[in-house]
Amino acid sequence: MNSENWHHGRLAAFDIESTGVDPQTDRIVTATVSVVGGKQPIDTVSWLADPGIPIPEGASRVHGITTERAQAEGRPAGEVVSEIVEKLADEIAKGVPVVAFNARYDLTMLDREARRHGIVPLTERGSDLFVIDPLIMDKQLWKFRNGKRTLTAVCEVYNVKLSEDDAHAADADAIAAARVAWRMGEQYDELKGVGLKELHASQILWADEQAASLEEYFRSQGKNETIEREWPIVSAG
């Protein structure tokens, strides 16, 4: 892959919808890996899992999957997690970066799910994991833009189509994240001529700086908040 045009090569877009917002303890409900770009056909695989625990009503309102539907139509969680990990590991072994919006959430959840089901996680498979996180890059390269930083909002900023009806569906969100990454690669000189290893390392630094900045802001408001700094996967404790 030409490092000057990383966004023109293959990208493994990844997204999860889950039972909640804690990647340490919540479970995967739906997931998609869409391998796109590089002037090759899109290769998309999607999964619906029975997470093995009830899906809270609030989570169901977000992604549309109820406990009853997951139990009726979903596959066993261990099988789904194994297939997701294997699909991503196969692409990573080819040197394809994983694109995930707010990667810390999706990749940490996948890591915990893998360990929960006795599956070797991505970090222990011997291949270099390079991640592209449009959320981290957007916060760094357009620091003082007003407005939200949700995927829907960022898609609007970079003129990527993602309707309200499609948002929070893993397949649509994965593709949207890849398209945002591509547009950012085209737009920002800071992202051109940068190899995947260097870009990954830069995002680790940016994520740490962004967390520190947010902590400083909270302190200025009289709040003692601790913000997670590890990226893209929080270490298993």
Q: What are phi and psi of 31, to 5 degrees?
A: -155, 155
CA-CA distance, 13 to 135, in Å (whole number)? 14
| Average pLDDT, rounded, for the chain | 95
pLDDT band at 2 (very low <50, low <70, confident <90, very high): very low
Local structure of residue 95 (DSSP, 8 states): T
- Burial zone of 80 (CB within 10 Å; 0-12 exposed, 13-18 middle, 19+ buried): buried
Residue 188 tokens, joined? 């920002």
Give the model's pLDDT for residue 162. 87
**Residues with Cβ < 8 Å from 94, sequence gap 6 or more?**
10
Tens of pLDDT, residues 55-110: 999 999 999 999 999 999 999 999 999 999 999 999 999 999 999 999 999 999 99
**Residues with Cβ < 8 Å from 50, sequence gap 6 or more?**
70, 71, 74, 75, 76, 77
Cβ burial 27-38 (10 Å sphere, 16+ → b, else e): bbbbbbbbbbbe
CA-CA distance, 219 to 211, in Å (whole number)? 12
| Single-letter code of the amino acid located at 4 | E
C-alpha separations of 146 from 2, 3, 65, 131, 157 in Å: 34, 32, 32, 26, 11
162: helix, coil or strand?
A: coil
65: helix, coil or strand?
A: coil
Give the model's pLDDT for residue 165. 60
What are the structural domain ranges in the chain?
3-220
CATH topology of domain 3-220: Nucleotidyltransferase; domain 5 (3.30.420)
CA-CA distance, 6 to 8, in Å (whole number)? 5
CA-CA distance, 198 to 10, in Å (whole number)? 17
CA nearest neighbour of 37 among 162, 153, 181 = 181
Tens of pLDDT, residues 38-59: 999 999 999 999 999 999 999 9
